[in-house]
Amino acid sequence: MAKEKQMIVIKKIIVQGGGHHGGSWKVALADFMTAMMAFFLVMWLLGQSEETKKAIADYFSTPSVIEYNFQNYGVELTLEKLFLDLLNEPLRAFQSFLDPIDTTPNLLDTGSAKVVITTMADQLGDIAKNVQVSPDGFNFDIPDNILFIRGTSIPTPEYLKVMSKIKTITTGLQDAEIRVTSAMFTQSVQSQTEVDAKRVASQRLDMVKNKIQAGLEHNSTTVIGNINVRDKQGEVDPNKLIGFIKISITQKAIKSDGSSIRKLDDLFDNAGKNDVYEDYLQQITDKKKKAQ
């Protein structure tokens, strides 16, 4: 009888991972390392001086320049500003990518006329009249009947609200001169005399000038003022006797540290035109309506 062939059985042992639990130890290790890093960071912070703690807190509590620009100026203006920064001050531009932004930025130091225009439109809207932007600064008028009761230096209910908006524009200014002009007509005061008109104009000037001065953060910015009283004989229409508070902001010739100033530039060479301001004002108004 023929001998049966021996059956050969080949076993293949396949080593498999632990299923969906196979990599869980990596997650646990990452969590542990993160916790250890946080612990040592806290221990390091506790050993630092109060000045260092404050500096670190300020860094993490304020957005970067890039983040601030995108949030406040939008993509178009941010890209234009970055282009101007890289063109004029490339080293400073790269450094600003990481530096936290001051909570009250210096508008004159942005280097962009459009940033000034859109900030003015966002803060003051159609309250500001005759807005003009030049390479050296900008100026605007506030009708006196918005700030003061007609013919007096008594503030209106809107006075504090408007001055608060002006403060957001002037507070962060550095190495600048703010000129405030209080202008009104003789016929707007009850007595219709030049003496009374000058007295009221001076009182208005002091109130506005002192309010702006009190809100400044930098001693390198000065506030000066003057009055302008005119006689408009024969005019009785109140709407034609409205004066104004003119605020003119210009950069000083040289910064306090001796460096040269940064001019307000514009890629499309249309700075200073009222239609540019009106365009941005309309855009901001449209965005607010859509948000509602």
- Going 161 to 184 to 178 to 283, the CA torsion angle's sign is positive
DSSP per-residue letters across 92-117: HHHHHTTSBPPSS--GGGS-BHHHHH
Percent composition of the chain: helix, strand, coil (DSSP 3-state, to 5): 50, 15, 35
Report the predicted TM-score, pTM, of the whole model to 2 decimal places: 0.65
**247 in helix, strand or coil?**
strand
Give me the chain's average pLDDT, please.
78
Per-residue pLDDT tens digits for 127-159? 999 888 888 899 999 999 999 999 999 999 999
Percent of the chain clearing pLDDT 70 (strictly above): 68
Q: Where are the strands (E) in 118-261, listed by range?
A: 129-134, 137-143, 176-185, 222-230, 244-251
At 66, the pLDDT band (50, 70, 90 cuts) reads very low
Per-residue pLDDT tens digits for 182-239? 999 999 999 999 999 999 999 999 999 999 999 999 999 999 999 999 998 888 888 8
